[in-house]
Amino acid sequence: MRRLFYVVPMISSILPSASSQTLYGLVNLRDAHILQDIQVIGKANVEDSTLSKNLDVWGTLVANETTFDQGVHVRGNTVELRNSTINGDLQVSNYLKKPRVNLDHTQVSGRIIFNSLTKGSVEKDEKSQIKKGVKNGVVNE
């Protein structure tokens, strides 16, 4: 007799929670004010916006002139922030490729945390700041 087993905990850990808004594919947010947790599964382009709650991206994040009032978690290998502010931690998780973060005139009030097998890389200009440092990564100015 053959039995089928389902791996429900693994599936439920990658599905979006009910308390957040989930967007799929190429997501362009411009001049937006988001008041709840948001998850993007794909590429997130955010411009001239304010996100009041947590942002989770399963892919790539590119932001310009944006304020993130809480933490940002990107499960991918590329984050590009220009003229932006993160009032919390920036986490980048990728176990397949070396994660990298590019900061241009950007302020991070918390830490940048890389969850990966290799050390992540932060490329930043002289006007960008990371107030609480970098965990599991190096900073190149």
Taking only the tens place, the pLDDT of each residue in 92-124 is: 999 999 999 999 999 999 999 999 999 999 999
Task: Tell me whether residue 82 is exposed, middle or buried, using C-beta atoms within 10 angstroms of its C-beta: 0 to 12, 13 to 18, 19 or more.
Answer: middle
| Angle (nearest 5°) at CA 27 between 51 and 89 | 40
Residue 9: phi and psi, rounded to 5, are -60, -40
Confidence category of residue 18, pLDDT binned at 50, 70, 90 = low
| Angle (nearest 5°) at CA 58 between 64 and 31 | 30
- The yes-or-no verdict on residue 9 having pLDDT over 80 is no
Distance CA 51, CA 68 (A): 5
- The yes-or-no verdict on residue 10 having pLDDT over 70 is no
Task: Tell me whether residue 15 is exposed, middle or buried, using C-beta atoms within 10 angstroms of its C-beta: 0 to 12, 13 to 18, 19 or more.
Answer: exposed
pTM here is 0.85
Q: Are 92 and 110 in contact (CB under 8 A)?
A: no
- How far are the Cα atoms of 27, 44, 102, 125 from residue 119, in angstroms, in the given order? 28, 24, 15, 20
